[in-house]
Structure 1
Amino acid sequence: MTTSPPDIMSPELMTYPYREYGRLREQGAVVRGVFMGDTPAWFVTRFEEVRAVLGDPRFINDPASVPGAPATDVRRLYIERYGLPEDYARYMADSILAMDPPDHARLRKLVSRAFTVRRVTELRPRVEAIADQLLGGMTGRVDLVERFAYPLPITVICELVGLPEASRPAWRHWGRELTSMDPKLMPAAVRGMVDGAQALVDARRADPTTHDDLLGGLVRVHDEHDGRLSDTELVTFVMTLVLAGHETTAHLIGNGTVALLTHPDQLALLRERPELWPTAVHELMRWCGPVLVTKPRYAAADVELGGVRIRAGEIVQPVLVSANFDPRRYPDPDRLDVTRQPEGRGEGHVGFGHGAHYCLGAALARQEAEVALRALFERFPDLRLDVDPGELRWEQMPGSRRLAELPVRL
């Protein structure tokens, strides 16, 4: 049982996230803990309170926006802990994911049209073709993470952004090293991504007229509309779109595959009623989504939340996984139910976040997961795990639930 203050870096929370975050939820809606070992933080654990934080403009991403004395900058702690190069630090600290209005809204508007439901629907035939091609080359025993869950979303996002095919293996390599939490690997990954993104921008600027993709559009905005997009923002945007556009989707596909293989009744129901796949993807995002916690927020003013007074400048850590299993919100929350319908408006879960920072690519991620999982189980009706579920290797990554590999027998 966990006796020390909760910290997303703790082995218990990384190894047993559902159990340990669930214990925190039942201790209280807002629980005192620490961030990265010694920095005080508030863990927000229950559904209503997590949604409240994510939708409340008084909880911000950039500590520099806190009036008065500056708050502890957890981005700086992260950079120092993992030895990330100082001359590249701004590309990690100043992404759209870490911005507040009005800059966040300004940047989001530049790319939001590429991720509308209509645009995503138009992409579906291409996603289906990629899935069919990947599955067509698989036989026998395979690592599904390596052969399918990763290649599908990274191909889709690279085509959407405009990364040439020759550069995609490098981006996949950098993404894996950056998310490895290994200080020996992460600095080189940051350098590789920044330099790689800058090279792509330079190449597109040299040939701006022949490409109708996100990268081309961003370069034109930068060059033709002074002040709408800085040099650093342009490079950071490329990095963020590519990395965020494939990492989490890959692990939603992997986690979802395990969930359905270990719940054959739910898989059988999907085979009988394939119209349930969109609903099933939402339930999988709730039940085994790869993102367990959001980026930390800061209170910009004193706020009363869940019976606790949070002071201006204090760190607040919304916990998505405990919110998504909150029995105050969900009947029988531990049960995987692909027919589960949301209560009221919205998705009924916070797997993609909520509020201004709701996942920009949520519609694309849902579609990719639906296409991938449906194609996988239709192509291979006898698909099974090639190890006992208890022997699956999960990466020790704070705030994330992701498989190191997924050995299956086709």
Structure 2
Amino acid sequence: MDIVNLTDPALMQDPFGGFARIREEGPMVRASYPGDVTPMWLITRYEDVKNVLSDTRFVNNPASVPGMDVGNIREQLMAATDIDQEVAPYLLGSILDADGADHLRLRRLVSREFTARRVIDLRPRIGEITESLLDLLDDETDLIEDFAYPLPIAVICELVGVPERDRLAWREQGEALMTLPPGAVNAPWRGMIELSRDLIERRRAEPGNDLMSALIRTHDEDGDRLSDRELITMIITLILAGHETTTHLIGNGTLALLTHPDQLDLVKKDPGLWPRAVHELMRWCGPVNGTQMRYAAEDVEIDGQTIKKGEGVIPVLVSANYDPRRFADPEGLDVSREQDSRREVHVGFGHGLHYCLGAALARSEAEIAFNALFRRFPDLALAGEPERQYVPWSWRLARLPVRLSH
């Protein structure tokens, strides 16, 4: 088949149907962004996606590929996206781009804040924030603006240690980064770098019982474990990843339930279904369509096709989550769909070593948010046409107008 254009409007407007057609034409297809002369591979089928995500022969950092011309790859990336030299080290040097021992070192520094036990301890506070936000809603409101964004940004900022007065700035910079065209993202990146430096100075002067204060202590007392740049990129990564995806899980999930009243009735009648429902919503309308690029550290064969050393691959999560080889009636939303009690079946949060660090937190926020929203406002209904933002690899709403009561 032809090389897939990943910015094709038809594909961005219907990634579920678009990637389903691609998946059924072949388990691996070539794709590219306009102007990128080096096509990548898309991995489209469930088992292959899971295998690639757990295969250590695929790495996130091209520098982990022996003999790779990393400088050339990064120059191409910066040229294609118009990223400034001063911004590039922060963009390319986060925990998301680390491999092996370096990745484990960075992950261990923050993982204690995202354990199942820590998330359980946070649930009462998440509930308080949720109820306070619901108290403020007008009868007709944009649920994205007034609820889906404020909840996760408040939770992650409290966890990290961002003062309340800075939270709107973080939200604005993060939203700009996700929605602006590539050539315009330098400004929000610079804004987040400056916000991070200010936070470090403030927490160094006034340490608290938060993740940032702990990371600063690690940096100051054992500098070889966390560099200055790593500290800044960690702040940016945690705050961005900690609110953007959860915001759009809540937005997408609310719209899905409002347009599937039979499924909404099931969870209203049995709130114990909410954990299962959140998993199903993450499978059916999750906010992330695919992972970042991974690189083959050696020749790897998948389904009879050789991915050559150094070639890039993107596992397509939305395609895997709709694969009929794994899910019965994958196009159907079923909040009572059986989950494997031992593990997560869908790949909405990824899989393997780079599985989403904040998955348990995101699930808890979504469970609490949905339960409270529909309990408080049982007659919640759409009050206008939802508005989508079409961004490659993302499924997100710009507006979700709702009416709280008849």
TM-score grouping bracket, smaller chain normalisation: over 0.9
Superposed displacement of residue 71, structure 1: 5.9
What do residues 247-271 of structure 1 show as CA deviations (whole Å, max 9, x unaligned)?
A: 0000000000000001000000001
Helix, strand or coil: the match of 2:399?
Answer: coil
1:268 aligns with 2:265: yes
CA distance in 1, matches of 2:136, 2:341: 43
User: Closer, same or farther in 2 for the Cα pair 1:78/1:140, shift >3 Å?
Assistant: farther
Q: Aligned letter for 1:123?
A: L
Q: Aligned letter for 1:237?
A: M
Q: Aligned letter for 2:331?
A: D
Aligned to 1:406: 400
What do residues 302-360 of structure 1 show as CA deviations (whole Å, max 9, x unaligned)?
A: 00112211100001010000000000001111110111113584111000000000000
Written as runs of structure 1 = structure 2, the 5 A alignment for 1:391-402 is: 391-402=385-396
Aligned to 2:166: 167
Checking the alignment, whether the CA contact within 8 Å between 1:34 and 1:41 is kept in structure 2 is: yes
Helix, strand or coil: the match of 1:326?
Answer: coil
Aligned to 2:24: 26
User: Closer, same or farther in 2 for the Cα pair 1:259/1:84, shift >3 Å?
Assistant: same
Superposed displacement of residue 65, structure 1: 1.3
1:237 aligns with 2:231: no
Superposed displacement of residue 84, structure 1: 2.6
What do residues 348-373 of structure 1 show as CA deviations (whole Å, max 9, x unaligned)?
A: 10000000000000000000001001
1:182 aligns with 2:165: no
Written as runs of structure 1 = structure 2, the 5 A alignment for 1:112-261 is: 112-183=111-182, 185-208=184-207, 211-261=208-258
Superposed displacement of residue 226, structure 1: 2.7
Question: Which shifted more, 110-119 or 74-83?
Answer: 74-83
Question: Which shifted more, 255-264 or 25-34?
Answer: 25-34
CA distance in 2, matches of 1:312, 1:72: 16
Aligned to 1:68: 67
CA distance in 2, matches of 1:71, 1:337: 45
CA distance in 2, matches of 1:186, 1:33: 23
What do residues 209-236 of structure 1 show as CA deviations (whole Å, max 9, x unaligned)?
A: xx01100000000000131000100011
Helix, strand or coil: the match of 1:395?
Answer: strand
User: Closer, same or farther in 2 for the Cα pair 1:76/1:271, shift >3 Å?
Assistant: farther
Aligned to 1:381: 378
Superposed displacement of residue 386, structure 1: 1.4
Helix, strand or coil: the match of 1:333?
Answer: coil
What do residues 277-323 of structure 1 show as CA deviations (whole Å, max 9, x unaligned)?
A: 00000000000000000001000000011221110000101000000
What is the aligned length? 403
User: Closer, same or farther in 2 for the Cα pair 1:75/1:293, shift >3 Å?
Assistant: farther
Q: Aligned letter for 1:299?
A: A
Aligned to 2:46: 47
Checking the alignment, whether the CA contact within 8 Å between 2:160 and 2:210 is kept in structure 1 is: yes
User: Closer, same or farther in 2 for the Cα pair 1:7/1:99, shift >3 Å?
Assistant: farther
Checking the alignment, whether the CA contact within 8 Å between 1:341 and 1:348 is kept in structure 2 is: no
Checking the alignment, whether the CA contact within 8 Å between 1:5 and 1:33 is kept in structure 2 is: yes
Q: Aligned letter for 2:110?
A: V
CA distance in 2, matches of 1:232, 1:40: 31
CA distance in 2, matches of 1:253, 1:78: 32
User: Where does structure 2 lack aligned partners over 5 or more consecutive residues?
Assistant: none
Helix, strand or coil: the match of 2:335?
Answer: coil
CA distance in 2, matches of 1:58, 1:73: 21
Aligned to 1:301: 298
Checking the alignment, whether the CA contact within 8 Å between 1:63 and 1:72 is kept in structure 2 is: no
Superposed displacement of residue 181, structure 1: 3.0
Cα RMSD between the aligned structures? 1.6
CA distance in 1, matches of 2:88, 2:70: 18
Checking the alignment, whether the CA contact within 8 Å between 1:82 and 1:181 is kept in structure 2 is: no
User: Where does structure 1 lack aligned partners over 5 or more consecutive residues?
Assistant: none
Q: Aligned letter for 1:114?
A: E
Superposed displacement of residue 74, structure 1: 6.3
Checking the alignment, whether the CA contact within 8 Å between 1:63 and 1:313 is kept in structure 2 is: yes
